[in-house]
Amino acid sequence: MKNISSLCSVVLVLWCLPACQSETGGKKADSKTISFASRVTEAHLEEDNWLLHGRTYDEQRFSPLSQINTKNVSNLSLEWFLDLPEARGQESTPLIIDGVLYASAAWSMVFAIDARTGKEIWRFDPDVPRSWGIRACCDVVNRGVAYWDGHILFGTIDGRLIALDAANGTEIWSVNTIDIEKPYSITGAPRVVNGKVYIGNGGAEFGVRGYVSAYDVLNGDLIWRFYTVPGHPEEPFENEAMKMAAKTWGGNWWELGGGGTVWDSMSYDSKYNLLYIGTGNGSPWNPKLRSDNKGDNLFLSSIVALDADSGEYVWHYQTTPSEGWDYTATQHMILADLHIEGQKREVIMQAPKNGFFYVLDRRTGELISAEAFVNVNWASEINLETGRPEVLPEAKYWETGKVTLIAPAWSGGHSWHPMSYSPDTGLVYIPAQEMAFPYYAKTEMKRNPLGANHGIDTRLAEIPDDPEIITAVKSAATGHLSAWDPVSQKEIWRAQYKGLLNGGVLSTGGNLVFQGNGAGSFQAFSADNGDLLWETDAQTGIVAAPVTYAIDGEQYITLVAGWGGIVPLMTGPVSWNDGEPVNRSRILTYKLGGTAALPKPKDTIQKMTDVSHVQLKVDEVKKGFKSYEENCVQCHGAGAVGGGVIKDLRFSPLLNIPEGWHQVVLEGTLEDRGMISFASVISPEESELIRQYVIGRNQFAHTIGDTTRLLLQK
Ligand code: CA
């Protein structure tokens, strides 16, 4: 296969010179005559398209298109938009293949759209039961589809991998990739290499064992599966790597799942035929509960290189041994060739949640360098001799027994939001986040209604509505775009945002970097010096990454916009920029001189339910808070405020209708909207205490005059 594909690429290059010089400044491939296998291997030659999740297998998310550039970007304006049906988090990176845009959206829906006009060609709704929402720790998002020879491939929140006919959106095959008795979910985009589709899953917050699987694109047959943490040591190990990993665990980890889920990033090196996977946090977070505080717990929080054909282990690098802070290494991995100390090095780069930027040799896994790119107080440095972090003793809250404010927080110095590497500037553009979190160790684990281990055995501090307190907390929770030199391991420039949560990044041959932000602005910066050159009101908070493409010599910039994800779900106002962000989920597409305009929002004001007549008892409200925190906070947010993703409970009319409230909490009357019955873990008395707590939140809002919100209408 290798010989054929390199022959094809020679043919492609010869055929393309000079006939493929397009008006957008790049080369075009004749897509009809060349097999898709060679097209994706040479994806960098297809400047008009965005064939793979990171555009090319090295996942640089750089497009050489230069028609839109620093000189004319001020003329960039909206050309078309398409409303999406569900106002939940939108984290998808679209693909653009020969004039068709393929994007996924919340609740694992998939759309094919005419990329020139925005006209919908087809849509596919996998009808994920809304009750599955509770198994997705971090909103019902989807980060994208993969394409291979007429197949559109994607995962669903309920664990299916589906292949659609790219021409008409009909289902070709569908396989279940998970044990449906366990709280797995899929939010990540599959990757495709040589007719194999790779898919991981999430669930380490709830007690699962992580793995990645390879399926045959043509029929959905399972080809191989690689587990990221060992199973029961009395059963045969799946491979030598699991035998090695088991020596780094203690306690009865297999009963708790262990974690290490492959929920987002992968990249592929065609030269070495290596598939790189990033693995997640431990399950539960606390190493004492998880592993009796023993060992490094391989392969948590690691980059693991696998043989792409067989799934066999080749090497690993663990960013955070015996992980205890939700420091996943599932973050975006970029392959590049860098000149370091006079040598060309083939590297893989990652800015994982733990706050250090890593440069590794991608053939061997050798650590080349690592420096902090945000505020870090859990480790003093990464020791280049041992390759290990120098962890500060006070950061091990499970040993000290103290509440400890640690940076980065579980939200990470950087999360799934894609970075971008520009070979023109040599810089990596990181959507960075600054937040500290008060960790403390509980001695026992909470179980959710699914019977799963609750991995979050740490406490989320109460965040009241008091504007002064919110301002104080928020001042320590900010985001920025960091232009990072991976050779010198230094920041070259930064764009500062008020809010923690902002969008993924695109860089282009026009010396531009594009990023949306949580305040609802979509912006372009000069890639070399960070000058803000263009911005537009997107009418919605943005978390996804933009991409670019060209049709008939005209360059477009597009992104899937819509506020959401775990940070707004759980922290509410802490994640906001200026006021409550809104979610108007849409695909927004721009070009020079574009002529479309977003409709003026016709929002109405909703007034908070009046429950001033209810007399509360302080000790009951306190008990209600404790129960809320254990059972409700992960979706309904700190202080029951909602975070702009799920409805603000303080506005619930059921605060005045106790029977209705208890029916929702205990009988699941709103299960079709995702609120399943909590009767297995919440007693009728507790349900009432939680209602009292939310009434208290409502009454407090009245005392500070914060009693209205926008009801969004597109
Ligand atoms: Ca996690």
Residues less than 5 Å from ion ligand 1, measured at CB: 281, 326
How many angstroms is it from 591 CA to the middle of ligand 1?
A: 37
Q: In angstroms, what is the span from residue 461 Cα to ligand 1's centroid?
A: 18
Asked, as a colleague might, if the bond just before 126 is cis with ω within 30 of 0, I would say no
The 532-537 sheet, strands edge to edge:
62-63, 502-508, 512-517, 521-526, 532-537
pLDDT of residue 399: 94
Q: Which residues of 51-80 are buried (b: 16+ CB within 10 A; e: fewer)?
A: bbbbbbbbbbbbbbbbbbbbeebeebebbb
Contact 54, 60 (CB under 8 A): yes
Q: Closest Cα to residue 473, out of 572, 326, 396?
A: 572
- 268 φ/ψ angles, rounded to the nearest 5 degrees: -140, 135
What local confidence, expressed as pLDDT, does residue 19 receive? 36
Indicate the pairing of strand 109-114 with strand 120-124. antiparallel
Identify the burial level of 631 via C-beta atoms within 10 angstroms of its C-beta, where 0-12 means exposed, 13-18 middle and 19 or more buried. buried
d(CA 275, CA 261): 16
pLDDT (0 to 100) of residue 586: 97
What string of H, E and C letters represents the secondary structure of 468-527? HHHHHHHHCCEEEEEEEECCCCEEEEEEEECCCCEEEEEEECCCEEEEEECCCEEEEEEC
Query: What's the 598 CA to ligand 1 centre distance in angstroms?
Result: 36
Looking only at the bridges linking them, the beta strands covering 356-361 and 367-372 are antiparallel
Could you tell me the distance, in angstroms and rounded to a whole number, from the CA of residue 702 to the centre of ligand 1? 35
Reduce the secondary structure of 421-459 to three states and give it as a string.
EECCCCEEEEEEEECCEEECCCCCCCECCCCCECCCCCC
**Amino acid identity, position 47:** E
* Catalytic option among 48, 296, 326, 457: 326
Low-confidence ranges of the chain (pLDDT < 50): 1-23, 25-33, 452-464
Please, what's the b/e burial string for 548-557 (b: 16 or more CB within 10 A of its CB; e: otherwise)?
A: bbbbeebbbb
| C-alpha span between 410 and 392 (Å, rounded) | 17
> By the 8 A CB rule, do 62 and 79 touch?
no
What is the 326 CA–ligand 1 centroid distance (Å)?
A: 5
DSSP state at residue 172: E
CA of 293 from ligand 1 middle (Å) equals 19
CA of residue 442 to ligand 1 center, whole Å: 17
Cα dist from 570 to 137, 422, 632, 638, 643, whole Å = 10, 33, 9, 6, 7
Q: Which residues pair with 508 in a beta bridge?
A: 63, 512
Is 30 a catalytic site residue?
no
CA distance 322 to 123: 43
- 10 Å CB burial of residue 713 (0-12, 13-18, 19+) is exposed
* Pairing status of strand 302-307 against strand 274-278: antiparallel
Please give the Cα distance from 454 to 285 (Å, whole number): 9
C-alpha torsion sign, points 279, 280, 282, 283: negative
DSSP 123-169: EE-----GGGGGG-TT-S-----EEETTEEEEE-TTSEEEEEETTT-
pTM: 0.91
Please give the distance, rounded to the nearest whole angstrom, from the Cα atom of residue 301 to the centre of ligand 1: 10
- Dist. CA 280 → ligand 1 center (Å): 6
Contact 254, 232 (CB under 8 A): yes
Q: 323 C-alpha to center of ligand 1: Å?
A: 11
- Give how far Cα 582 sits from Cα of 442, 525, 648, Å: 35, 24, 12
C-alpha 264/C-alpha 200 separation (Å) is 7
- Number of Cβ within a 10 Å radius of residue 706: 15
Cα 260 to ligand 1 centre (Å)? 9
Distance 414 CA to ligand 1 centre (A): 13
